[in-house]
Structure 1
Amino acid sequence: MSTAPTTTPDADAPRAAPDDMRKRMELLQDCRELVVSRLSRVVGEALAKMSEELSALALRSRDQDEQHALMDAVSVVRQHRTEIELRFRRSFSEVFERRMHDDRPAAAHDGPAPGELALVDDSVLQAKLAVDRLVSRARGRLDPDEVLGVRARLAALLERDWFEEERHPASPEAVFEALKNALAELAPRADVQTALLDAFEPHVTANLNTVYNTVNERLKAGHVLPRLRPQVVVRDGQQPRGTSPEAGDAPQSAGQRAGGAQSAGQRGGAGQSAGQRAGAAGAGHAPHPHPRARELGSVLSLLAQGAPAARASATRILADPETFAVADLPIPDVQPPLLDALSGLQASTVGGGAGAELVSDIAERARENGSPLDQLTVEIVSMVFDYIYADKRLADVIKQQLLRLQVVAVKAALIDRSFFARRTHPMRRLIDRISELAADADADLGAGSPLVRGVEEVVESVLLQFDRDFGVFEEARERVESLAADETARRAERLAKVTREAERAESVVHARGLAMARLSDRMDAESPRFIRDFLADWWSLVLAEAQVGGGVAPIDHAEAMAIGESLIWSVQPKQADEVPRLAALLPRLINGLMRGVRLVSMPDERREAFFNDLLQAHTRAIEAAKQSVAAARRPTNLRMRPDGRIQFVPVAPPSEAVRIDPPTVEARSIRLAELRRGDSIEVDANGDGQFRSYRLAWISPAQKIFVLSRFPEGATSLDRAQLAAMFDGGRARFADSGSALDKAIEAVAAASGAVAGAAR
């Protein structure tokens, strides 16, 4: 069964739509302008963000062709942003108008007439598939009540029964058709168009419900179907629910057949079906069944006949979230004898392992007791677990525990067929969480570790407790979350020393930047190169260590700054009367410099070379002062007071040539600002081409220090420049972080799609 809006109101309800044609046309025009303006605004706001979003995707992509397509898409957005918005508005207005007044059945638009042949270019087919994928994704997130309202109320304005779901003027198909038209000339390459449409999709999807709600409220205020009541549609030859006592043997709803008390809509996350929410009305004029229901019925019929292509088509349908967004989809229930047989196998795995024998036994039970759809479901689950077992990211010790859950996963997929389509399926959420722990490079996954023992206990409890109650999976996932929290606490304890050191290093980097800026303010264009190098390379570090170390440092910050100022003053040109002051200063200066360079472990050769250069500079300054007693000199930023202390008195801003500013480091290949704690990064630590996974355990607040950790090797800290060099040099890369189960299901669905295509 399916639901369709009826224009038959309650006795006390207003009329379905105003009788005045002029009033209806005014409402129609208002809605048209409302939808066009709202969606044009959505497109404009999306374009404002897409340049950065596409650039980020290009930086992360490892495929050269994909990178080129994404960067070309960025260029299109930057060069033609306004033009795209204008073209979309014009194109969508045309699409809206055409769909609003075209009352031909959808089949008339879908392709050649029966008996005709049509050749379709591969690129055209690929483009259509790409748009269909985006439309499916968008529709899966729409509120069915809002969609139903738009379809019925817009049709009522035109005195029609209703619009088909795919054909109403504001449908996702209409939006993406208009977007594709808008991009056709500006981005003629198919891969660039696809990249742009992919980038538009999340923005369109996030706003369509709001647009639909606004249209519905406007039309309800105009007395257009203010009390829309969906009704049950009865297919030819099918007995309506509860119509007569003789109907006691009539089939149950698809929701009851496939999931016990849950309907397909509930399993798909949509709650009750539209018919259940509004209450079944009397029989009336009904549209054709939902296209997905027709497709599923046809595939199930072929599957029962043993048609090879039907297996691939059924797999694709079971893995499509849109399938379970349709209320009362006719999915058969699992055969009870098969569930009983699987429960027996489940009991036999308690306390033991799982191997090829178990997989073989499950398949045999399905052949003996299951329907063709049951057998296919078992086969798909087996293939999914094969992919999981082949996933090199997962620790073997956890893979073994996941394999023990295979018989439970089979039962869960048979009881609720949306297992392959819904990421929120309770069993999938449990497998996903365990897989995340198995892929954590910094988790203690050694045999007998607390985490591994805990996972074993969770798996054992699921095998013992699960019959048909999915609440068992939720409880198990909560226990896994507790295990993950305990592991996080143990990891924090292991990383405490490294993170403290990293935090200190971050503070030193920050303090050093401030010190370098202060020292550069005190120099001028005549400061010798060796002095500038020494201050930048070593004395700024002395100042930073003195500031961060506080009272425990062998030299405090104020004294270190005074020594730096004295050093700069000591090599400036001197008047004859300043030579005695320099002579008195030198012993204290040399002593202070020696204490500072020892603090930062300046190498002996570098230290000796510096002091030799300093001695020669002092000698030259003294000789020059003696030979030109009254020579004029340029004013400097430092002068010696009568008490022998150096005073900083800025005369003029220092030359940019001598300013010592900390460099800003950024990687060319990625944006370091996008890194997040917990990211998995593969690193070629030894430069031998062997990559291993590390966890990004800590990032400093200023994003200058990064800590990578791997158990049991420990953690290492890298500064921003080091990490940038590793990414740019190909020695670091993002690890694949997708869900193992999602990837397995996508691979199986993709393989089935290829088989189905070949069969056609």
Structure 2
Amino acid sequence: MTDAKVVHLNKVAPEHSPTPPVGRLPVALIQVRDKAAQQLKQALQALFDNADDTLFEMADRSTSNAEQNTFFEAMRDLRLKRKSIERGFLHKVFESFATLNQYEIGQAPQLDAVSFDKLALIQNDELEESVALDSMVAKVKSRDGVALSHLTTRLNALVSKKLDDKSNPFGPLVLCEVFLDACSRLGVEIKVKLIILKLFEKYVLSDLDQLYAEANQQLAAAGVLPELKSAPIRRKPGQVPTSGSRSGREGGGALPSEGGSYADEGVQEVFGVLQELLSQVRGTGLPRRELPADALPISSGDLMRLLSHLQQRTPAPAAMDDFDLRQQLEQLLTRASVKSGKARVVGEVDEDVINLVSMLFEFILDDRTLPDSLKALIGRLQIPMLKVAVLDKTFFSRGSHPARRLLNEIASAALGWAEHDNTQRDSLYQKIEQVVQRLLNDFVDDPAIFSELLADFLAFTGDERRRSELLEQRTRDAEEGSAKAELARRQVELALNERLLGRTLPEVVVRLLQEAWSKVLMLTCLKHGVDSPEWLAALATMDDLVWSVAPHEDPEARLRLLELVPGLLKELREGMASAAFDPFSTSEFFSQLEFLHVQGFQRFKRPLPEAERLVSEPPVTEQVAEVLAEAGVELPLLELPPAEEPELADAPAMVEVVEEIVLLAPGESRVQEPETSLADDDEALLQVDNLRVGSWVEFQEDEEHKLRCKLAAVIKPTGKYIFVNRTGMKVLEKTRMGLAVEFRRSAIRLLDDALLFDRALESVIGNLRRLKNA
């Protein structure tokens, strides 16, 4: 089965953007989806139309009444739920397409190994179902593997999500899982479920070759990789696809694979297409081969020996700019010609391989996505990669090829790499350098070294990724926590300003509310929310405090104040204690507040006759002392001024709240530079809105410094875009408008996170086509 990843979009209809907005599918793909969905719908209807007869026949063969009733009940259940299963199946199929242009945040790898003990716990029913599923999928892949793989390759040319045959929405595995999910509400036994699965295989999966052929034909007609020949071929189950294309095994034997020969028609076909394009541009884009009449092509084995000789003399990274592989090889051939007395040249097939690899590395070394300091290091891999391509032409077509994957993994790991003054101390640089050096030293003609180095490099990047994902998650959690705190702070500010702005109150009360009670309100808002009884109670306490220190002339206010103060002081104390407010400051606030309340009671003294006053009410001092004692407050004996000299008591310091209260987080400064305002439909804002979490970008900080970072989160409540470096540490935050300004002045550039080799091959094919049409 091919795993080709040749992707070229030049022939796709112009209206299809290579990077369509999130969620939007290209028109060509929508047409394929709709036509295939119609075929699946008809196949599903045929399944249900025949299910009754099948189940009735099984019931007729039953050996017991219980077994017969099982099939009759299944028939009834299937009739009742048929429509919902059909709708659910098609809905899930459409849903699987809807996510193809949506970025998914990678999940951290599961580290728990699955033991045989755990496997033993799987229910027998689930095991039977799983075995049946595997068998059905295997049959489709055996019969229609090439067509499916071509369809997967074409879908990858149109969508941002990387697909393989397992995740292809039309793949047998996805369709089976979708069908099982749609049937999950059926209350049938496993033997009935297995019969239904067999019907699904017979009426739906058996016709997938036609679906794949038509889908490939539609996409090819729309200009999506028309070079892939995907003619519908119906084979008997178990028949192996024919092997060998015109390129065959020229230039060296193919490597053995885990699943069979690489030389099947789908895999080798890509190199054949590349050869054809090369032959058509010789004399225009490429120099024509002018060979002496007696030129004798060297064998692929001799070429490998020459390349190994050059490999041992690969210059250091700093000198790679002056290294021309083709020129060096030409010099060696000239020396060999002089020595043998006959003109020695590279064979045509091997010459094509050399040209293709050279063009691939020209793209790689010009790629702006790769950091400059790593380009020279990766450039040293040109000869090892060329040797692999000489040995195995599927290097150009098979995405899972170890050498190709190694190059892609190195480039992916380097995407977030930042320039360092001392690159040698960076662990990633050291690892890449180690891989390159090992290949230069040890790779002769056994490609198994690439698998070994790939496994080692994946283990290294896996460890780094797990650490960075952990830190990145902590960064997101911290930012979301900060956003919640910011929203709570705004709610508290609003509550304070509604009650204090424009009023004149004792300075101590304003300070108490702004410095202490604001913390109680914020804690309550975070824990319980603004609709909770706790929040309303905290606001009521604040309202009671403001009322208790305001001047009142109504005689009834005295009774309310006497009733209010004990509970008020208790609520204030408990609230401030719950917010862990400084005890010393709390004591100071209460001392001043108690004095304010004493003065408040003092204002209620009325000019009654002496005898009546002595009989009817105790001195105000005693009343206040009793009230405060109930609240747990001990006061020294207060000497109040005589009634006729009320102005002798110290008047409290009053303050008018004329400016809005602004609460700041620790270390925060609310002074913000005014942001540039752009129209809603401004192109720069649209660019920001198309950014997806996980996108890598490069900020041009100044003429000399660039910052590479990844969008880790968009905090919706505050509108902040949070960026982290490759270790997961926060390095930057921007607003939507701030990012738009950066886009507008071209100070921010999106980094292409598509696979490096695939992008390089796409570029080479595009260039060859342009030369052909020139």
TM (normalized to structure 1)?
Answer: 0.46
Radius of gyration: which is bigger? Answer: 2
TM (normalized to structure 2)?
Answer: 0.45
